[in-house]
Amino acid sequence: MNELTHWINGKHVKGTSGRFSDVMNPATGEVQAKVPLATVAELDAAVAEAAKAQPAWGATNPQRRARVMMKFAALINEHMDELAELVSREHGKTLPDGRGDVQRGLEVIEVCMGAPHMLKGEYMNDGGPGIDLYAMRQPLGVVAGITPFNFPAMIPLWKMGPALASGNAMVLKPSERCPSTALRLAELLQEAGLPDGVLQVVNGDKEAVDAILDNDTVQAVGFVGSTPIAQYIYGRACSNGKRAQCFGGAKNHMIIMPDADMDKAADALVGAGFGAAGERCMAISVAVPVGEKTADALIERLVPRIEKLKVGPYTAGEDVDYGPVITSQAEQRIRGLIESGVKQGAELVVDGRGFKLQGYENGYFVGPSLFDRVTPEMDIYKEEIFGPVLSQVRAGSYEEALKLTMDNPYGNGTSIFTADGDTARDFANRVNVGMVGINFPIPVPLSYFSFGGWKKSAFGDLNQYGPDAFKFYTKTKTVTARWFSGIKEGGEFAFKAMD
């Protein structure tokens, strides 16, 4: 049995707690590795070592830190297939999805090459009589990242790139379900020139998370996961005086107007709803067609597309559309929610409950399911399913569809498909959701913007990556300066203050 490690001071270190978590193969249901779960003492020791390494790294010229990011990006590209295979092996997503996971993280590292520009401060000459003012951005010190199972490469890269480029040391706690990618990224960062101790990878469960939140040296915490845990981490971090940036769940709606291209809308919904088995916080899980004719036309196009989806292990090749969900508990929860949808009166148009894959009967596979005539009081509408289930809620008008989206407690992403510019513009301006797509199903911003939701999808004032990330991982110091001038009088220098 493969026993994984922590990454401390530039080397692999065995855990000492005696506690381990199984790392499963979601396609087979078999244990493929064991990962150590750190104690409070182990976590605190890693933080202490990071604190020793940070001052020298923080004092390093930002351009030199950017060169480490450049080399790191080159190494990620060089090892793309290896990293994608690590992602797929532990998460279960297809290899194309695995490469996409790595690629979206790589794009943030590429933006971090511009750290010298991102970290520039402000300057005002003669803000007062003989007075100059300037503001500088300085690293926080030691920061922490707590990342989820569903993007084992992307989210750790989103956290570590801006944090390290800003001059901080980071303690990263990846998901114990998919830990190997983060450990490999740490090795590549060392190869890229990151000094030992600046990045520590500590595996663990709630005990390690609470130790991060309670450690006085840790100045900031970034988290991605479910809304209840995001709210918990945000509250505990803030009560301990830390800066916190916590992203939670989602229930993303896509409105389809009568003038939309129905074939393009259907293609978009299938990709956005079922890609990565629906285990994405930006997945579209609710389709909202406006008008009965629109709804009927959309269902007519969705059914054959969904029924053709190929479900299988990542080892089956590039033509598999999606793989298993992460655990047997997730599989059973998804099946239970589908059952509740049927009992509560939704029309199950495509039923994925009976799906079994020959040779992989013990894997955590769920077939694609499509519901029609879903209403807001149903559990399948209220809960984030995080699985391959798409619900259609019929709206009588644009205003009704917009209200449905705005009344939802989540506000991560939303989309509208329409041929009308006025409608699209109105939707973008009025909807109370953080990321909006217009004829675009998964509106994840490019890496030089910032990613973040509203309402119960996000806790904290600053978003992930882009300019917001550099603000989050630095603090501003403002200097007011006045110099006394020497004035030559009679061969002597007399000094007088400038008024």
Active site positions, annotated:
281
- The answer to whether 221 and 243 have CB atoms below 8 angstroms apart is yes
**11-13 vs 6-8, strand pairing mode:** antiparallel
Spatial separation of the C-alpha atoms in residues 15 and 29, rounded to whole Å: 25
Spatial separation of the C-alpha atoms in residues 219 and 168, rounded to whole Å: 10
Element spanning 465, H or E: none
Strands (E), 316-392: 347-350, 369-372, 389-392
The number of beta carbons lying within 10 Å of the beta carbon of residue 490 is 6
Spatial separation of the C-alpha atoms in residues 459 and 464, rounded to whole Å: 12
Which residues on adjacent β-strands are paired with residue 255?
Answer: 288, 416
Triad 84, 89, 94: Cα angle to 5°: 60
- The answer to whether 185 and 87 have CB atoms below 8 angstroms apart is no
Q: Which three-class secondary structure state does DSSP give residue 495?
A: strand
Backbone angles phi, psi at 243, to 5 degrees: -75, 140
**Residues in CB range of 192: below 8 A, 6 or more apart:** 68, 69, 71, 72, 74, 75
Backbone angles phi, psi at 193, to 5 degrees: 115, 5
**What is the dihedral angle through the alpha carbons of 385, 433, 237, 327, rounded to the nearest 10 degrees?**
20
Tokens of 66: 């950017």
- The answer to whether 385 and 371 have CB atoms below 8 angstroms apart is no
CA nearest to 372, candidates 350, 343, 397: 350
Task: Indicate the burial class of 481 (C-beta count within 10 angstroms; 0-12, 13-18, 19 or more).
Answer: exposed
What length does the chain have? 499
